[in-house]
Amino acid sequence: MTLMLASVLSSAEAETAVACGVDIIDCKDARRGALGALPLDEVARIVALVAKRRPVSTVVELPHDVSHARAAIEAAATTGVDFVKFALPMTPDMREVVDQLAPLCTKIRLVAVLFADLGPDFEVLALLARAGFHGVMLDTAHKGRARLLDYVGVSGLGEFISRARALGLSHGLAGSLEAPDVPRLLVLEPDVLGFRGALCAAGERRNALSAEAVTLVREMIRRPHAPAPRYGEVDHIFVRDLVVPVEIGAYGFEHGHKQRVRFSIETEVYRDIGPDDMRGVFSYDVIMDAIRIVLAAGHVELVETLAERVAESVLLHERVRAVEVSVEKLDVAPPASVGVRIRRERAHHHGAQSAILHVKTGA
């Protein structure tokens, strides 16, 4: 289950977030950059107002001196927050910093933040896990320039999540995320998705939270036991003639290099009966992400296998009723192409969707 985190800079914003169903309240001064810290007295007021209705996290700006950093984290913990976050310094003394902070992990749930736009090394995740850190988030340092997905593709984010999960680290994604990013990221099943700007009036992170914007994102991240969405007619969402270099082929000469492959994918998607906004949209980005995720796994021998994996990835989205995938190799006998076309459907049982697939192949 993916939780929604909202960064707030006042007790009034915290109350808005709680009222709109946000899962985690994050105390942060968005006016002071990516991880600007709020005064501890304001953090304490937010903790008191939330009154255990939701977990609360806060940001600490680490001083360069490690002993002062420990003192800052301990002071933040006295406010009663559930988690303390800080930007992990990617400096030569980073390992020393982690080692010095490790003793705090027995009493404080520490979350290290890595910045996607500053070239993070995911090898550090093992170090954090050994030190006893509670979790790690991937964010962006420079707000307003680009979104998380502009720096790290879906396959790279999947690698980050897989590594963190294998190490037992709670993990989250943030970084100027917008409503259209939600369905693209939910398929990766991160523990947390964090937001600020997308929840604010006019999409400006320095503005106050907008209850309408918070509700939109909240409803895109469905919670367990939430009412099932009402689906109506079927739309056809497609990506056609997308040519990508792919490592594919069963012959020996086809290994070790890429050849051109053309994808054409059409999905039958249930229209969401509801507001006319992003809650009702199934984006073609989701289809292209499915291709990227599959290709990131490396060499594929058969076009049939490639088509099957793409279809399975698209069908992870519950609104997809059926998908038709065409995969063509363009360099085998140009100007002709060779390949396969398959159709996969989601079965229905008692009016509910299931993950059982009916196999239908076409040529």
Q: What is the pLDDT of residues 92-149, one digit of tens each?
A: 889 999 999 999 999 999 999 999 999 999 999 999 999 999 999 999 999 878 899 9
Domain 3-220 has CATH 3.30.1020.10: no
Question: Could you tell me the pLDDT band of residue 353, with boundaries at 50, 70 and 90?
Answer: very low
CATH class of the domain defined by 231-362: alpha beta
Examine the residue annotation and report whether 329 is marked as an active-site residue of this protein. Answer: no
For 277, which DSSP code?
Answer: S
Residues of the chain with pLDDT > 90, as a percent, come to 67
Residue at 137: amino acid letter: M
Other C-beta atoms lying within 10 Å of the C-beta of residue 56: 24
pTM for the model: 0.80
Residue 289, SS3?
helix
On the question of a common fold for 3-220 and 231-362, the answer reads no
Beta bridge partners of 35: none
Q: What is the mean pLDDT of residues 33-38?
A: 89
Question: Nearest-CA neighbor of 363 among 345, 341, 344?
Answer: 341
Question: Could you tell me the pLDDT band of residue 13, with boundaries at 50, 70 and 90?
Answer: very high
pLDDT at 198: 95
pLDDT at 77: 97
Two tokens, residue 64 = 């360069």
Please give the sequence-ordered ranges of beta strands (E in DSSP) within 9-70, or none if there are none: 24-27, 56-59
Tens of pLDDT, residue by residue over 230-287, are 667 888 999 999 999 999 999 888 998 899 999 999 999 987 766 656 666 788 888 9
Helix (H) or strand (E) holding 261: strand 259-272
* The one catalytic residue among 52, 85, 143, 258: 85
Examine the residue annotation and report whether 28 is marked as an active-site residue of this protein. Answer: yes
pLDDT at 360: 30
Please tell me which residue, 286 or 352, carries the higher pLDDT value: 286
Measured between alpha carbons, how far is 75 from 56 in angstroms, rounded to an integer? 15
Phi (first) and psi of residue 314, to 5 degrees: -65, -40
Domain ranges of the chain: 3-220, 231-362
Other C-beta atoms lying within 10 Å of the C-beta of residue 132: 15
* Nearby residues of 232 by Cβ (< 8 Å), 6 or more positions away: 270, 271, 272, 273
